[in-house]
């Protein structure tokens, strides 16, 4: 038999098991993108079945095809315009009547169709038995019993779909809406035939949608040559229906359709136990309880939040170490120059920054997949809706905002759980105001430098509270100005609790991770290279000092002192000529390096540090006792070398500072200084803010370079002291800077993901502009009011 291609569209209500069947049928052969021009996710999968190549498209889950939402419009347009060979409608057998409403609308589109009666095991467990043969007879299409998470009936489903697609015919399915409505449908249908339109919709369906005042269909008819004539007749028909039915025609037609569905359900459901308390009902008595629901939910979110960033810390550290090792290898292998700097600092550094987020992404979507597939996510939205509704957000918005305290990137991706585009965009726009962990090194540095430890915790807490307050205010403003309209009513089906399948969870994690790397990674890589260019060019700088000559002079001075104080007294030509001295110097160096590595994370007055110090002193004393004559010379050599290395590092850092000042980034810092002076900042802070546009924690290393200290971490006492000694820096300026860092533009990773999630550059640009403007206003108020109060 010849190999043929068959396109299958999977349709169904949310929580009908559609995605489980999609994953079971297609496995790893999936592609995830967006439908052209919209932000609705498009999932396609492939499967070889017997002699057929199947293209399976997972349509957005919808309750109807009335085009009230973007999901409904996309699903409808795909069926009508792309014309898949067959539609497979997934029905939740336990909620048959509600699911049949979409099924009959799909049948009215006059496309070949197969019905999958899914989760029949769950339905039977609550006493619902369905006669699929009667259902098939009434609908005029094949009906196949399936249990998606057990792969039961899927081969039969595919066989039926292939057969129906091969027949290329579909029995006409007509709901009788009553004599009066039917007469109007016939009237409009005849008129449409008369005007000879070229719209691709079925004739009867088109007339029905015009009577329902479907916005997209009305606009399509307006574009016809005789569209005005048709719409005039439609308006008259609608008015006549309104007068006769006493209600809006759309509502009247929907009621008639529900009556048909109700009658059909009674005919095919052969038995049902009423008043059965299911396992889901029993669990919900606790999880959605008025008193216990919120604490349980907050506890689960706290666990997810900590799990994401605690468990992700280990692989994230491994990735950072791996990228660091790769960078060191490239730096040692490649000759010194711009190309090496580009590869090491721009490309490896940029990509490493992106990949290091991947463990958090994977773990986040592991948690989300489990919550969604078990059915708890719907309960979470139900529990939090009242709280979030007060600030113009949806109940589901709480989860991304909570995750925003760890990292804005997975938090923004987490807004995919929000169906309404307005709620989703508002949540995306305010999520960056949550103080992510990347900002914490900046806070730690500035608080340690300018605030006493007795109030340090209070200062840090105030920054976090400010972010929460601003997110609430901006959410209310956005809903009142940008995204006007009544708040979305909270109508959500609470599906039965289920045990998630491993395949579904793994597919969920895999597709999001690959998407993150492909989309966000490429954008971040390009912009990271741009940032590298701005910091490193122009490469030719007229330095105020001859740093090469100063370095050579320092090295010569070191060599001269070694000759005079160590080499000559021993009557040797070089240190290497005395093997015992060389070994002793190496041993002392090893002791120092080991102590530095082991004490790096220890607090200054801790018992562990005291023990390490005592152990180090004992090892040094042992070497001194063993080598009483050579020890003073070895110690002096290390002292001289330390002074020399310190001097060379100072020259190198001073040169880097001067080069940075003359770089494009430095010029920008000078250029923007007048704009940030009212906030208490000078050009050096300006450079730090420009550099940390890529990632907020970069501000720390940038300030270390600016203050001639090289790259420092947030625990560096030297950098803290340098900031404290700067006359331009005060506690008020430090707090103003923390406020600015809290609010201003999301990092490159977050902006890239906003672009990915909104499918437009408009929203990341808007997020960048509004947060920076808000940061300026808030920092201005902090600094100016603080100055007036004498701080």
Q: Which residues are annotated as a binding site for GTP?
A: 12-19, 37-41, 58-61, 118-121
> Which residues pair with residue 56 across a beta bridge?
8, 45
Sign of CA dihedral 143, 145, 148, 151: negative
Enumerate the known binding-site residues.
Answer: 12-19, 23-24, 26-27, 37-41, 58-61, 118-121
Q: Which residue has the tokens 């060019």?
A: 537
Asked whether 271 and 127 are in contact (CB, 8 A), the reply is: yes
d(CA 333, CA 340): 9
For residue 766, what is the enclosing H or E element? helix 762-788
Record the tokens describing residue 109, joined without a space.
């589109």
Cα–Cα distances in Å, from 116 out to 21, 109, 157? Answer: 10, 18, 7
User: In terms of DSSP bridges, do strands 129-130 and 113-118 run parallel, antiparallel, or are they unpaired?
Assistant: unpaired
CA distance 633 to 570: 9
What torsion do the CA atoms of 228, 231, 232, 234 make, to the nearest 10 degrees?
A: 160
Phi, psi (deg, nearest 5) at residue 711:
-80, 120
The rounded distance, in Å, linking the Cα atoms of 508 and 695 is 27
Comparing CA positions, the residue from 538, 517, 535 lying closest to residue 692 is 535
Q: Which two tokens stand for residue 108?
A: 């009215």
Residue 253 near residue 345 (C-beta atoms within 8 A): no
Compute the Cα dihedral for 359, 365, 370, 373 and give only its sign: negative
Burial class (CB in 10 A: 0-12, 13-18, 19+), 90: buried
H helix or E strand, kind and range, residue 307: helix 293-311
DSSP string, 341-371: HIIIIIIIHHHHHHHTTHHHHHHHHHHHHHH
Orientation of helix 607-626 relative to helix 579-599, angle to 10°? 180
Neighbour tally for 171: CB within 10 Å: 12
| Distance of alpha carbon 287 from alpha carbon 399, whole angstroms | 16
The string over 483-510, giving b where at least 16 C-beta atoms fall within 10 Å of a residue's C-beta and e elsewhere, is beeebbeeebebbbbbebbeebbebbbe
Q: Whose structure tokens read 């000529």?
A: 577
Q: In which order are the strands placed within the sheet that holds 113-118? A: 30-34, 41-49, 52-58, 4-12, 86-92, 113-118, 143-146
Q: Would you list which residues are annotated within the binding site for Mg(2+)?
A: 23-24, 26-27
Interstrand relation of 30-34 and 129-130 (parallel, antiparallel or unpaired): unpaired
Contact 148, 119 (CB under 8 A): yes
Taking CA atoms, 707 is separated from 660, 686, 720, in Å, by: 11, 14, 10
The encoded tokens of residue 361 equal 């992404």
The residue among 638, 749, 613 whose CA lies nearest residue 694 is 749
- The contacts of residue 596 (CB under 8 Å, 6+ apart) are none
């Amino acid at each position: 038999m010849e190999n043929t291609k068959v396109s299958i569209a999977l349709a169904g209500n949310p929580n009908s098991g559609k995605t489980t069947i999609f994953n079971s049928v297609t496995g790893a052969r999936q592609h995830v993108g967006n439908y052209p021009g919209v932000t609705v996710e498009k999932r396609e999968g492939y499967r070889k079945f017997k002699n057929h190549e199947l293209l399976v498209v997972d349509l957005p889950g919808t309750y109807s095809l009335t085009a009230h939402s973007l999901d409904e419009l996309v699903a409808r347009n795909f069926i009508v315009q792309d014309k898949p060979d067959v539609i497979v409608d997934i029905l939740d057998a336990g909620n048959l009547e509600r699911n049949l409403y979409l099924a009959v609308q799909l049948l009215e589109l006059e496309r070949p169709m197969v019905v999958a009666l899914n989760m029949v095991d769950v339905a039977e467990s609550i006493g619902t038995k369905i006669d699929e043969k009667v259902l098939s007879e009434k609908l005029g299409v094949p009906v196949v019993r399936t249990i998606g998470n057990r792969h039961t009936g899927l081969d039969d489903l595919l066989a039926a779909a292939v057969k129906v697609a091969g027949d290329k015919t579909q029995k006409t399915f007509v709901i009788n809406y009553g004599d009066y409505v039917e007469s109007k449908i016939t009237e409009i249908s005849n008129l449409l035939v008369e005007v000879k339109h070229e719209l691709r919709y079925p004739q009867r369906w088109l007339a029905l949608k015009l009577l329902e005042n479907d916005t997209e269909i009305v606009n399509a008819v307006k574009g016809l040559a005789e569209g005005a004539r048709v719409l005039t007749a439609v308006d008259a028909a609608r008015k006549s229906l309104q007068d006769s039915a006493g209600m809006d025609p759309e509502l009247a037609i929907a009621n008639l359709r529900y009556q048909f569905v109700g009658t059909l359900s009674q005919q095919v459901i052969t038995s049902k136990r009423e008043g059965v308390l299911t396992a889901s009902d029993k669990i919900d008595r606790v999880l959605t309880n008025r008193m216990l629901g919120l604490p349980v939910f907050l506890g689960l979110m706290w666990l997810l939040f900590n799990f994401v960033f605690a468990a992700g810390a280990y692989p994230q550290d491994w990735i950072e170490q791996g990228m660091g090792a790769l960078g060191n290898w490239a730096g040692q292998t490649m000759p010194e120059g711009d190309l090496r700097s580009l590869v090491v600092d721009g490309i490896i550094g940029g990509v490493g920054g992106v990949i290091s987020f991947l463990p958090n992404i994977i773990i986040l979507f592991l948690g989300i997949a489990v919550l969604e597939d078990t059915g708890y996510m719907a309960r979470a939205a139900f529990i939090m809706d009242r709280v979030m509704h007060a600030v113009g957000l949806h109940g589901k918005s709480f989860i991304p905002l909570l995750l925003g305290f760890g990292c804005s990137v997975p938090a923004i991706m987490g807004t995919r759980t929000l169906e309404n585009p307005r709620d989703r965009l508002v949540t995306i726009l305010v999520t960056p105001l949550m103080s992510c962990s990347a900002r914490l090194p900046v806070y730690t540095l500035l608080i340690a430098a300018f605030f006493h430890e007795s109030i340090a915790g209070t200062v840090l807490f105030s920054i976090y509270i400010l972010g929460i307050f601003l997110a609430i205010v901006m959410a209310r403003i956005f809903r009142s100005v940008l995204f006007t309209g009544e708040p979305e009513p909270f109508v959500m089906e609470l599906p039965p609790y289920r045990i998630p399948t491993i395949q579904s969870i793994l597919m969920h994690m895999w597709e999001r991770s690959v998407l993150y790397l492909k989309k966000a990674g490429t954008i971040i890589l390009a912009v990271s290279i741009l940032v590298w260019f701005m910091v490193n060019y122009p490469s030719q700088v007229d330095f105020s000092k001859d740093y090469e000559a100063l370095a050579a002079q320092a090295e010569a001075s070191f060599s001269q002192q070694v000759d005079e104080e160590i080499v000559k007294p021993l009557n040797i030509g070089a240190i290497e000529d005395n093997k015992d001295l060389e070994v002793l110097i190496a041993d002392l160096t090893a002791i120092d390096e080991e102590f530095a590595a082991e004490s790096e994370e220890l607090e200054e007055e801790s018992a562990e540090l005291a023990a390490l110090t005592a152990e180090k002193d004992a090892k040094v004393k042992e070497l001194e006792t063993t080598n009483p004559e050579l020890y003073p010379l070895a110690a002096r050599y290390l002292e001289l070398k330390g002074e020399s290395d310190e001097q060379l590092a100072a020259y190198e850092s001073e040169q880097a500072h001067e080069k940075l000042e003359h770089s494009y980034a430095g010029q920008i810092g000078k250029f923007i200084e007048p704009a940030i002076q009212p906030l208490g900042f000078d050009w050096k802070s300006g450079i730090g803010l420009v550099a940390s546009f890529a990632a907020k924690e970069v501000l720390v290393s940038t300030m270390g370079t600016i203050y001639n200290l090289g790259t420092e971490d947030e625990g560096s006492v030297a950098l803290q002291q340098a900031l404290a000694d700067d006359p331009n820096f005060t506690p008020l300026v430090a707090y103003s800077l923390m406020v600015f860092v809290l609010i201003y533009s999301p990092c490159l990773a977050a902006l890239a993901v906003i672009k990915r999630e909104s499918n437009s550059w408009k929203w990341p640009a808007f997020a960048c502009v509004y947060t920076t403007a808000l940061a300026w206003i808030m920092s201005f108020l902090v600094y100016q009011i603080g100055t007036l109060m004498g701080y």
